Each structure stands twice: as structure tokens, then as C-alpha cells.
Amino acid sequence: MKIKSLDAREVLDSRGMWTVGVRMVLADGAYAVDSVPQGKSTGFHEALSLPAAQAVRNINKVIAPKLRGKNFASQTALDDFLIRLDGAPNKKKLGANAILAASMAFLRASAKVKKVPLWKHVNDVYLHEGKSRSGDPVKPGAPRLFMNVVNGGLHAGNNLHFQEYLIIPKTKSVKASVEIGTTLYHALGAMLARTKGKVATNIGDEGGYAPDFKDDLEPFRILQKIAKQLRLGKAIDFGLDAAATDARLSKEDLMHFYKKFTTAVRPLYLEDPFPEEQFEDFAVLTEKYGKETWIAGDDLTTTNVRRMERADAEESVNAVIIKPNQIGSVSEALDAVRAARQYGWKVVASHRSGETNDSFIADFAWGVRADGIKLGAPARGERVAKYNRLIEIEHEAR
């Protein structure tokens, strides 16, 4: 794959903040356009994303001239080259957002050269490249949908300590899952308007409703009631991203809440239950609830194999969030998936709260056969772009 050109510009994300958009053209004329998402409740150990203007400058002035006319035999070869060009472990020189943009565009353009859908190429790279081969060949396939229908924490202006209240349809059919998800989402909106007033249907950063609640458990009580009324109680699981680094609650308060939460809700999924350095508190929870519940690291693990290695050694989690922009290249994100599989963890691919309409993450999740994917609510263009891409892939893959 010979690179003809790469150029970057600033584009808007869903919060109206500048992020990085790129276009890469390969020598045979195949081209790709991609853009990178940005988090708000970012983990301390994430690779460093530079301000968009700076990252764009680094792509146009440093990365593009080095890539022009160069041949790369694989995704790994391109990513290794970019990682070496930066030289810093957290990619602070060129920016994780600059490197990831080039990495994503190369992957997408390569799929076009091979004339295969992006998810198929992701699967090929996952199986045939990389340092730590999983030894467990996976076929591409549908992830379960983790739909964030109530927003709190840093993603909303309400009184909820926790960030994401997730409904997780039990079927693996994307279309059927979306149907269940939208039915509940709309019924929730109607119920909130009725009981809390119309202002309660305003939404947060990921498209979930974001009114004040009586307490941090009330959203689940309401969702349980609605699911029962609609006879969807058996069709869904519940989950929570506590994003506890930013939850402003003590360890004791958190423990107390999880006891009530697991008893009342019997959740499938609990992400970042404690702040990002508390590996041992995660381990206590995994020991206690890990049989029924996926206890997932996000800020704890930051798609970083070294953090994941520690989480495995301390038995902190049995599941992990994978966000390519936490680590800053496609190859390293795939390495993180391989490591998770080696540890026997569930894999949940994820968008960020600040998104563009780029649907890359949908193909990524399908290609590695992630167990789940977090895409926010089934509303707002930047979230819907991914749900619609999954629906499209479901057809392509038939």
C-alpha cells in the first residue's frame, strides 16, 4: 500500500469542539476520510491528544511529508512507523489524535484496495497481524448494544453522580436490538415528561435524558417499571458506567450504592466502579459480583496493555472498554483486544462522548467480534451514524 497523500483539517465534534479530520489517498487512487472522537471524562493514563489545531499542523507538516510516497506492507508497519516518529510513550509529541487519524484512514483505504468492507479488513488485521496472537481465531460478528438512555456525571447538568445508565437488549440481531432500545427510549421520554415535566426530556452529551432524579437508583426503578409495562423485562439487561473517577463519592458510598444496585437491578454490566487507580477495590467487586456481572475497566485500563496486565494480575476486572483514541493507533487497540481475550475478559468497544459522524468504531467492533458496543442513546446524528452502520453491516455480512 503506497501512500500518495495525507492531509488534515479541523472538523467539529458533537459538542461543537474542534477535532481532527483527515483524508488519505493511496497510490492506486483508493482514499479514505476519517475523524477522531474526543472524551470528556478522560482517563489520566490515556495517550495524549493535542489541541486539534496543533494535531492538524503536525499531520500536515510532520507526518504527511514522511508518509508521502512510502510503501507499507501492513497496518502494523504503518502504525509502528508513526509510533517511532513520535517517540514518546504517550504520543505527546505528535498527538494521539494526529497518529490515530492517520492510522484509521490507512486502515479504511486499505480495505478499499482489497475491495472488502472495513469490518472484514479489521478482522483480517486482527487475526493475521500483531504481537500477541490470541490463538483463538474469531469470526466477525455482531456486538450487543449498550444503549445509554440516561446521562449524568460530567455528561449532563443534573444531580446524578453516575455517568451512563445502560439498557442492553438480549438479542444479538442489531435491528431487533435497536427496535427494543428505541421502544424503551421513547417510553422513558414519555414517562419522564409525565412525571417530571417536559423539561425532563432534555438530553445530555450522549443523547440520554438528563433530568434531576430522587436518587442515583431512580433511573433504574423507572426503566424497570417501563420494561415491565411493555413486556420487555426479559428482553433486556441493565448496566451502569459509574465513571467513578469523576463521581465525587467516597469508597464507602460507592460500595454501599453497589450493594443496593446489584440487589435491586441484578446488572449485567458495571464499568469504572471506582476511581482509576484503585485496582484493589475493583478486585473486591469482581470477586463479589464477577460471576453474574461484567466488571469493566475504562479509565482504569485506558486500552493500554500495560494497565490491562496489571488489572489481570490483580484480578481487578473481567471485562474491558476498548477505545482506539485512548491509545492512539489501530494496531495498539487491536493488541488490547488480543490481550483481553487472553485474559478471558469480555470486550466492549466504545465511542467517546464527543463524536463526529464517523462510524469507524462500528466496523471495529464487528471485526473483532466485540461482546458489546457503547454508542450512546439511539438518537442524535453522531450516535445514529454508528447504529445505522451496524444495521448496514448486518446486511453486508449476511
Q: Output the nine-digit C-alpha cell for 303.
A: 486500552
Stretch that binds ligand PGA, among 213-221, 249-257, 281-289, 345-353 (CB under 6 A): 345-353
Which of the listed partners (ligand PGA, Zn ion, none) does 39 bind, with a CB threshold of 5 to 8 Å by partner kind?
ligand PGA
Stretch that binds Zn ion, among 106-114, 242-250, 262-270, 334-342 (CB under 5 A): 242-250
Q: Output the nine-digit C-alpha cell for 311.
A: 488489572
**Do 394 and 177 form a contact (C-beta atoms < 8 A)?**
no
* Maximum separation of any 2 CA atoms in the chain, in Å: 62
Which of the listed partners (ligand PGA, Zn ion, none) does 34 bind, with a CB threshold of 5 to 8 Å by partner kind?
none
Dihedral of CA atoms 155, 158, 161, 164 in degrees, nearest 10, equals -40
| 353: contact with ligand PGA by CB under 6 A | yes
- The 299-338 contact track toward ligand PGA, x by CB under 6 A, reads ----------------------------------------
Tell me how far apart the alpha carbons of residues 235 and 52 are, in angstroms, rounded to a whole number.
42
Q: Output the nine-digit C-alpha cell for 267.
A: 446488572
Which of the listed partners (Zn ion, ligand PGA, none) does 359 bind, with a CB threshold of 5 to 8 Å by partner kind?
none
| 39: contact with ligand PGA by CB under 6 A | yes
- Between 243 and 305, whose beta carbon lies closer to ligand PGA? 243
**Residue 86: DSSP 8-state:** H
Residues 6 or more apart whose Cβ sits within 8 Å of residue 259: none
| 246: contact with Zn ion by CB under 5 A | no
Q: Which residue has the cell 490507512?
A: 106
- Between 298 and 371, whose beta carbon lies closer to Zn ion? 298
Say how many residues touch Zn ion, by CB under 5 A. Answer: 3
Backbone φ, ψ for residue 231 (5° rounding):
55, 40
Q: CA dist 130 to 13, 268, 269, 325, Å?
A: 31, 31, 29, 18
Task: Establish whether 170 is a catalytic residue.
Answer: no
- The 156-175 contact track toward ligand PGA, x by CB under 6 A, reads -------x------------
User: Angle at the Cα of 165 (from 164 to 169), degrees rounded to 5?
Assistant: 120
Tell me how far apart the alpha carbons of residues 21 and 8 are, in angstroms, rounded to a whole number.
6
H or E stretch including 240? strand 236-241
**Residue 291 backbone class (left: φ over 0; alpha: ψ -120 to 50; beta: rest):** alpha
Stretch that binds ligand PGA, among 35-43, 67-75, 173-181, 375-383 (CB under 6 A): 35-43
- The 351-380 contact track toward Zn ion, x by CB under 5 A, reads ------------------------------
Catalytic one of 206, 271, 355, 382:
206
Task: Establish whether 206 is a catalytic residue.
Answer: yes
Candidate list 144, 338, 352, 389; residue touching ligand PGA; CB under 6 A: 352
| 241: contact with Zn ion by CB under 5 A | yes
| Cα R_g (the chain), whole angstroms | 20
Stretch that binds ligand PGA, among 85-93, 181-189, 273-281, 350-358 (CB under 6 A): 350-358
Query: SS3 of 366, please?
Result: helix
- The 286-305 contact track toward ligand PGA, x by CB under 6 A, reads ------------x-------
Point out the residues that are catalytic.
206, 323
List of residues contacting Zn ion (CB under 5 A)? 241, 243, 298
List of residues contacting ligand PGA (CB under 6 A)? 39-42, 163, 241, 243, 298, 350, 352-353
